[in-house]
Amino acid sequence: MKGLFYVLEILLPRTCLVCGERLIAAEKDICMHCLADMPLTYFWTLAHNPMADRFNHNIQKGMEEGGFEPYAYAAALFFYSEDTRYSNIPKSIKYQGALNAGTRFAAMLGQKIASTDHFRDVDIIIPVPLHWKRKWDRGYNQAEIIARGINSVMNVHVRTDLLVRRRRTQTQTKLNIEEKAANVSGSFQAKALAIPSTVRHILLVDDVFTTGSTLHACFVALRKVFPPSVRISVATLGFVGGA
Protein backbone atom coordinates (compact mmCIF):
# COMPACT_ATOMS: atom_id res chain seq x y z
CA MET A 1 0.00 0.00 0.00
CA LYS A 2 2.65 2.50 1.09
CA GLY A 3 4.89 1.35 -1.76
CA LEU A 4 2.06 1.89 -4.22
CA PHE A 5 1.71 5.51 -3.11
CA TYR A 6 5.39 6.13 -3.69
CA VAL A 7 5.11 4.71 -7.21
CA LEU A 8 2.01 6.79 -8.00
CA GLU A 9 3.80 9.90 -6.82
CA ILE A 10 6.54 9.35 -9.37
CA LEU A 11 4.15 8.66 -12.25
CA LEU A 12 1.58 11.42 -11.75
CA PRO A 13 2.20 14.87 -13.26
CA ARG A 14 3.93 17.11 -10.80
CA THR A 15 1.73 19.94 -9.60
CA CYS A 16 1.91 22.37 -6.69
CA LEU A 17 0.06 20.88 -3.69
CA VAL A 18 -1.17 24.35 -2.79
CA CYS A 19 -2.25 26.08 -6.03
CA GLY A 20 -2.34 23.13 -8.42
CA GLU A 21 -0.07 24.71 -11.08
CA ARG A 22 2.46 22.54 -12.90
CA LEU A 23 5.86 22.53 -11.22
CA ILE A 24 9.09 23.34 -13.01
CA ALA A 25 11.96 20.88 -12.73
CA ALA A 26 13.66 22.68 -9.85
CA GLU A 27 10.47 22.72 -7.74
CA LYS A 28 9.28 19.94 -5.43
CA ASP A 29 5.74 19.60 -4.02
CA ILE A 30 5.14 23.34 -3.96
CA CYS A 31 5.78 26.14 -6.47
CA MET A 32 8.16 28.93 -5.55
CA HIS A 33 5.31 31.45 -5.27
CA CYS A 34 3.35 29.36 -2.77
CA LEU A 35 6.57 28.58 -0.91
CA ALA A 36 7.39 32.28 -0.64
CA ASP A 37 3.85 33.04 0.58
CA MET A 38 3.64 30.15 3.04
CA PRO A 39 2.16 31.49 6.31
CA LEU A 40 5.02 30.32 8.54
CA THR A 41 4.34 30.51 12.29
CA TYR A 42 7.94 31.16 13.42
CA PHE A 43 6.87 29.47 16.69
CA TRP A 44 10.22 27.65 16.77
CA THR A 45 11.86 30.99 17.58
CA LEU A 46 9.57 31.59 20.58
CA ALA A 47 9.47 29.48 23.74
CA HIS A 48 6.09 31.06 24.48
CA ASN A 49 3.69 31.17 21.56
CA PRO A 50 -0.06 30.58 21.04
CA MET A 51 0.44 26.86 20.38
CA ALA A 52 2.63 26.32 23.45
CA ASP A 53 0.19 28.38 25.53
CA ARG A 54 -2.73 26.21 24.42
CA PHE A 55 -0.83 22.99 25.07
CA ASN A 56 0.48 24.06 28.48
CA HIS A 57 -2.97 25.32 29.43
CA ASN A 58 -4.38 21.84 28.73
CA ILE A 59 -1.61 20.30 30.84
CA GLN A 60 -2.21 22.64 33.78
CA LYS A 61 -5.97 22.12 33.62
CA GLY A 62 -5.57 18.36 33.82
CA MET A 63 -3.06 18.44 36.68
CA GLU A 64 -3.53 18.00 40.39
CA GLU A 65 -2.73 20.95 42.59
CA GLY A 66 0.90 21.23 43.63
CA GLY A 67 2.15 19.10 40.75
CA PHE A 68 5.15 20.14 38.73
CA GLU A 69 5.48 20.16 34.98
CA PRO A 70 8.35 21.56 32.95
CA TYR A 71 7.11 24.03 30.34
CA ALA A 72 6.36 22.19 27.11
CA TYR A 73 7.66 23.70 23.89
CA ALA A 74 5.54 23.70 20.76
CA ALA A 75 6.05 24.58 17.13
CA ALA A 76 4.20 24.22 13.84
CA LEU A 77 5.48 24.95 10.36
CA PHE A 78 2.56 27.04 9.11
CA PHE A 79 -0.83 28.45 10.08
CA TYR A 80 -3.57 26.07 9.00
CA SER A 81 -6.93 27.35 7.89
CA GLU A 82 -9.68 25.68 5.89
CA ASP A 83 -9.97 28.99 4.02
CA THR A 84 -6.51 28.77 2.47
CA ARG A 85 -5.15 26.18 0.09
CA TYR A 86 -2.20 25.49 2.39
CA SER A 87 -4.65 23.12 4.11
CA ASN A 88 -4.08 20.93 1.02
CA ILE A 89 -0.64 20.02 2.40
CA PRO A 90 -1.78 17.99 5.46
CA LYS A 91 -4.85 16.74 3.56
CA SER A 92 -2.82 15.38 0.67
CA ILE A 93 -0.53 13.59 3.11
CA LYS A 94 -3.40 12.16 5.14
CA TYR A 95 -5.85 11.24 2.40
CA GLN A 96 -3.96 11.10 -0.90
CA GLY A 97 -0.76 9.37 0.10
CA ALA A 98 1.59 12.27 -0.69
CA LEU A 99 4.21 10.61 1.47
CA ASN A 100 7.37 11.99 -0.14
CA ALA A 101 5.90 15.47 0.09
CA GLY A 102 5.01 14.81 3.72
CA THR A 103 8.57 13.77 4.44
CA ARG A 104 9.94 16.90 2.77
CA PHE A 105 7.59 19.37 4.50
CA ALA A 106 8.40 17.67 7.79
CA ALA A 107 12.12 17.98 7.02
CA MET A 108 11.51 21.71 6.49
CA LEU A 109 10.01 21.83 9.99
CA GLY A 110 12.92 19.74 11.27
CA GLN A 111 15.40 22.31 9.88
CA LYS A 112 13.58 25.09 11.72
CA ILE A 113 13.30 23.39 15.11
CA ALA A 114 16.68 21.64 15.14
CA SER A 115 18.37 25.03 15.02
CA THR A 116 16.67 26.33 18.19
CA ASP A 117 17.80 26.06 21.80
CA HIS A 118 14.53 24.63 23.12
CA PHE A 119 14.32 21.68 20.72
CA ARG A 120 18.02 20.95 20.37
CA ASP A 121 18.12 18.34 23.16
CA VAL A 122 15.19 16.24 21.85
CA ASP A 123 16.26 12.60 21.99
CA ILE A 124 13.07 10.71 21.11
CA ILE A 125 10.37 11.53 18.55
CA ILE A 126 6.99 9.84 19.03
CA PRO A 127 4.25 10.16 16.38
CA VAL A 128 0.62 10.19 17.55
CA PRO A 129 -0.40 6.60 16.86
CA LEU A 130 -3.38 5.58 14.77
CA HIS A 131 -5.56 2.74 15.90
CA TRP A 132 -4.14 -0.36 14.20
CA LYS A 133 -7.35 -0.86 12.20
CA ARG A 134 -7.25 2.66 10.78
CA LYS A 135 -3.56 2.32 9.95
CA TRP A 136 -4.36 -0.98 8.24
CA ASP A 137 -7.08 0.72 6.15
CA ARG A 138 -4.94 3.73 5.20
CA GLY A 139 -1.69 1.82 4.82
CA TYR A 140 0.35 4.30 6.82
CA ASN A 141 0.19 6.72 9.72
CA GLN A 142 0.60 10.31 8.50
CA ALA A 143 1.99 11.41 11.89
CA GLU A 144 4.71 8.77 11.55
CA ILE A 145 5.60 10.04 8.06
CA ILE A 146 5.99 13.52 9.56
CA ALA A 147 7.98 12.24 12.56
CA ARG A 148 10.41 10.46 10.23
CA GLY A 149 10.71 13.58 8.07
CA ILE A 150 11.61 15.67 11.11
CA ASN A 151 14.07 13.00 12.15
CA SER A 152 15.75 13.03 8.75
CA VAL A 153 17.19 16.32 10.01
CA MET A 154 17.40 15.76 13.78
CA ASN A 155 18.79 12.26 13.52
CA VAL A 156 17.64 10.97 16.92
CA HIS A 157 15.18 8.09 17.49
CA VAL A 158 11.63 7.70 16.23
CA ARG A 159 9.77 5.34 18.57
CA THR A 160 6.44 3.91 17.45
CA ASP A 161 6.39 1.19 20.12
CA LEU A 162 6.04 3.34 23.26
CA LEU A 163 2.54 4.67 22.68
CA VAL A 164 -0.52 2.78 21.41
CA ARG A 165 -4.03 3.82 20.56
CA ARG A 166 -6.35 1.55 22.47
CA ARG A 167 -9.65 2.35 20.82
CA ARG A 168 -10.84 4.02 17.69
CA THR A 169 -12.23 7.48 18.31
CA GLN A 170 -14.92 9.00 16.18
CA THR A 171 -13.75 11.65 13.76
CA GLN A 172 -13.02 14.93 15.55
CA THR A 173 -14.09 17.43 12.92
CA LYS A 174 -17.71 17.93 14.02
CA LEU A 175 -17.04 18.12 17.77
CA ASN A 176 -16.61 21.15 20.02
CA ILE A 177 -13.58 21.56 22.33
CA GLU A 178 -15.04 19.70 25.33
CA GLU A 179 -16.39 16.90 23.17
CA LYS A 180 -13.03 16.53 21.45
CA ALA A 181 -11.21 16.27 24.76
CA ALA A 182 -13.71 13.69 26.07
CA ASN A 183 -13.51 11.81 22.77
CA VAL A 184 -9.77 11.19 22.92
CA SER A 185 -9.19 11.20 26.68
CA GLY A 186 -7.91 7.80 27.74
CA SER A 187 -7.56 6.46 24.21
CA PHE A 188 -3.80 6.19 24.41
CA GLN A 189 -1.58 3.97 26.50
CA ALA A 190 2.14 4.27 27.03
CA LYS A 191 4.24 1.15 27.35
CA ALA A 192 6.80 1.05 30.10
CA LEU A 193 8.94 -1.42 28.21
CA ALA A 194 12.42 -0.69 26.94
CA ILE A 195 12.61 2.96 27.81
CA PRO A 196 16.17 4.27 27.81
CA SER A 197 16.89 5.97 31.15
CA THR A 198 18.89 8.61 29.30
CA VAL A 199 15.76 10.16 27.73
CA ARG A 200 15.44 13.85 28.61
CA HIS A 201 13.18 15.37 25.97
CA ILE A 202 10.38 13.74 23.97
CA LEU A 203 8.92 15.37 20.88
CA LEU A 204 5.33 14.32 20.18
CA VAL A 205 4.38 14.75 16.54
CA ASP A 206 1.05 15.07 14.72
CA ASP A 207 -0.08 16.54 11.40
CA VAL A 208 -2.25 19.42 12.61
CA PHE A 209 -2.70 21.07 16.02
CA THR A 210 -6.26 22.28 16.56
CA THR A 211 -7.49 22.20 20.16
CA GLY A 212 -4.50 20.12 21.21
CA SER A 213 -6.77 17.51 22.83
CA THR A 214 -5.25 14.55 20.96
CA LEU A 215 -1.68 15.57 21.80
CA HIS A 216 -2.76 16.23 25.39
CA ALA A 217 -4.24 12.72 25.66
CA CYS A 218 -0.88 11.35 24.41
CA PHE A 219 0.94 13.56 26.89
CA VAL A 220 -1.15 12.23 29.80
CA ALA A 221 -0.42 8.63 28.78
CA LEU A 222 3.33 9.26 28.43
CA ARG A 223 3.48 11.10 31.73
CA LYS A 224 2.33 7.94 33.51
CA VAL A 225 5.58 6.33 32.37
CA PHE A 226 8.03 9.23 32.10
CA PRO A 227 8.71 11.39 35.22
CA PRO A 228 8.47 15.22 34.97
CA SER A 229 12.25 15.39 34.59
CA VAL A 230 11.55 14.30 31.01
CA ARG A 231 10.20 17.24 29.04
CA ILE A 232 7.43 16.44 26.54
CA SER A 233 7.08 18.94 23.69
CA VAL A 234 5.00 18.95 20.51
CA ALA A 235 5.48 19.68 16.82
CA THR A 236 3.02 19.64 13.91
CA LEU A 237 2.96 20.80 10.31
CA GLY A 238 -0.17 22.96 10.72
CA PHE A 239 -1.50 25.10 13.54
CA VAL A 240 -5.14 26.26 13.61
CA GLY A 241 -4.98 29.79 14.97
CA GLY A 242 -8.50 30.50 16.10
CA ALA A 243 -9.44 27.09 17.54
Which residues of the chain form contacts with Zn ion (CB under 5 A)? 16, 18-19, 31, 34
* Crossing angle of the two packed helices 88-96 and 142-154, in degrees rounded to 10: 110
For residue 18, the minimal CB distance to Zn ion (Å) is 5
- The least CB distance from residue 31 to Zn ion, in Å, is 3
Nearer to Zn ion, 41 or 88 (CB): 88
CA 68 to chain centre: 25
Nearer of residues 16 and 89 to Zn ion, judged by Cβ = 16
Residue 56 or 88: the one with the smaller Cβ distance to Zn ion is 88
The separation between the first and the last C-alpha atoms of the chain, rounded to the nearest angstrom, is 34
Which of 14, 131 has the CB closer to Zn ion? 14
